[in-house]
Amino acid sequence: MALDTFSKRLRAYRKLKSMTQQEFAVSVGVSVAIAGGWERGTRLPTEAELQRINAVLCVKTHELGLVETKEGSAWTAQSLQRSNPRP
């Protein structure tokens, strides 16, 4: 469910920017297959990828439904208090 939140929010923010999945992937510096995996909820971005996603979409990590783990180097999907993203 939490990964589903991330994937839905990612897609919603990408569409708000009027970007195709291919345009988004190129902007973030990944393949379309990787970007598609994020939107399908089958994979999570690395920390570096997440920073680029944030920059491209002009969002903060928590707005995508992700939080930093205690180790500070990994990101995990987690349901947030708000059930609806801004988009």
Q: Hey, what domains does the chain have and what are their CATH numbers?
A: 2-77 (1.10.260.40)
Ramachandran angles phi, psi of 76, nearest 5°: -130, 150
- How far is it, in rounded angstroms, from Cα 9 to Cα 3? 10
Count Cβ atoms below 10 Å from residue 41 Cβ, excluding itself. Answer: 18
pLDDT tens column, 14-33:
999 999 999 999 999 999 99
What is the structure's pLDDT at 65?
Answer: 86
Alpha-helical segments (H) within 1-87? 2-16, 21-28, 32-40, 47-57
Q: Could you tell me the pTM of the whole model? A: 0.78
What is the structure's pLDDT at 75?
Answer: 54
Residue 68 has pLDDT above 70, yes or no: no
pLDDT tens column, 27-64:
999 999 999 999 999 998 988 999 999 999 999 988 99
